């Protein structure tokens, strides 16, 4: 992991600022001579910058995003607890962790931090900007922030604006955090029980009826307690508590709620999307109930240079991470088409 330290005030969209920020990031592969092989991957809610760890179905040797061909970079998002400045970071003005005093951040603030890192690394072009779910939110915002830098977009299980459904889920999760008696305490473990409950609710939206019925149904009709699905949700909640932080979860779900491409751009999503110039591949997951395919179809309908593919999966929203084998053929074909267009353009010139 690498770190970039920005030792100047970082103004936030909501009007507050951070005295300084640190950005944690990973890179894989080598930058070519003309710096034209950059693949920047934006991660989702509780992921981190080690994209080889959580997206190894698409990133790695002999995968669609192969480090032998591409210079791959992923930066941890602002507000997280995996190295980039967030609620657990030390506030240089108080010399204590921010905890609940960490200011609100938005998707645009995350992208603004990414841009600082891009400039620090001297990357003038991003060949492919990729992300699913919250990562897709970042990709879309970045496409508007730097249209002259970002050349192609790869989007999965994402949308032009957070839905009322998504905001409702996040609000419910934050109510769970607030219901924890330790919430608000100046401690890295404050809100852990609430975080466990919030993750359990999240898992129900990341998966769906079909996959839970398939994998978690109890075979014993005489059972009165200790159901398999209950154990599964407890396990998933404990796993997140062991690796994440409740204050970061609060901060990041608030950031998700803020996502709306029309804010400050006239409000009408259709008109905003139609201004996008990048060639785009959009993947929808048939069983996704958190960000259903109607959201990706809306993007495909209004982005001028978009191709839409829907894959059949029982894994719901998490299919964008799990279904590498189903996604890869479509991604590889699209990458080949981009390469062919580039070669034709160079031949004409």
Give catalytic residue positions: 133, 288, 317
3-state secondary structure the chain: CEEEEECCCEECCCCCEECCEEEEEEEECCCCCCCCCEEEEECCCCCCCCHHHHCCCCECCCCCECCCCCEEEEECCCCCCCCCCCCCCEECCCCEECHHHCCCCCHHHHHHHHHHHHHHHCCCCECEEEEECHHHHHHHHHHHHCCCCECEEEEECCCCECCHHHHHHHHHHHHHHHHCCCCCCCCCCCCHHHHHHHHHHHHHHHCCHHHHHHHHCCCCCCCCCCCHHHHHHHHHHHHHHHHCCHHHHHHHHHHHHCCECCCCCCCCHHHHHCCCCCEEEEEEECCCCCCCHHHHHHHHHHCCCEEEEEECCCCHHHHHHHCHHHHHHHHHHHHHHHHHHHHHHHHHC
């Amino acid at each position: 992991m690498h770190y970039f330290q920005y030792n100047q005030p970082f103004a936030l969209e909501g009007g507050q600022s951070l005295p300084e920020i640190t950005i944690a990031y990973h890179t894989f592969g080598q930058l070519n001579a003309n710096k034209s092989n950059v693949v920047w991957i934006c991660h989702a809610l509780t992921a981190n910058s080690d994209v080889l760890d959580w997206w190894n179905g698409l990133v790695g040797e002999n995968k669609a995003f192969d480090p032998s061909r591409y210079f791959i970079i992923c930066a941890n998002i602002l507000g997280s607890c995996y190295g980039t400045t967030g609620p657990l970071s030390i506030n240089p003005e108080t010399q204590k962790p921010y905890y609940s005093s960490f200011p609100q951040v938005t998707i645009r603030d995350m992208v603004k931090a990414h841009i600082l890192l891009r400039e620090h690394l001297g990357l003038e072009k991003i060949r492919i900007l990729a992300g699913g779910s919250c990562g897709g939110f970042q990709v879309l915002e970045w496409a508007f922030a730097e249209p002259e830098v970002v050349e192609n977009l790869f989007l999965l299980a994402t949308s032009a604006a957070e839905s009322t459904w998504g905001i409702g889920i996040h609000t419910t999760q934050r109510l769970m955090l607030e219901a924890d008696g330790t919430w608000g305490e100046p401690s890295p473990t404050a809100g852990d029980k609430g975080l466990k409950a919030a993750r359990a609710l999240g898992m129900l939206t990341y998966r769906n009826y079909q996959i839970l019925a398939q994998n978690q149904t109890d075979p014993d009709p005489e059972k009165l307690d200790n159901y398999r699905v209950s154990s599964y949700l407890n396990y998933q909640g404990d796993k997140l508590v062991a690796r994440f932080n409740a204050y970061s979860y609060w901060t990041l779900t608030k950031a998700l709620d803020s996502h709306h491409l029309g804010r400050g751009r006239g409000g009408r999503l259709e008109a905003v999307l139609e201004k996008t110039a990048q060639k785009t591949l959009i993947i929808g997951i048939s069983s996704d109930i958190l960000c259903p395919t109607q959201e990706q179809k809306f993007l495909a309908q209004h982005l001028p240079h978009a191709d839409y593919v829907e894959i059949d999966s029982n894994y719901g929203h998490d299919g964008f991470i799990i279904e590498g084998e189903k996604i890869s053929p479509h991604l590889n074909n699209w990458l080949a088409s981009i390469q062919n267009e580039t070669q034709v353009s160079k031949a004409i010139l």
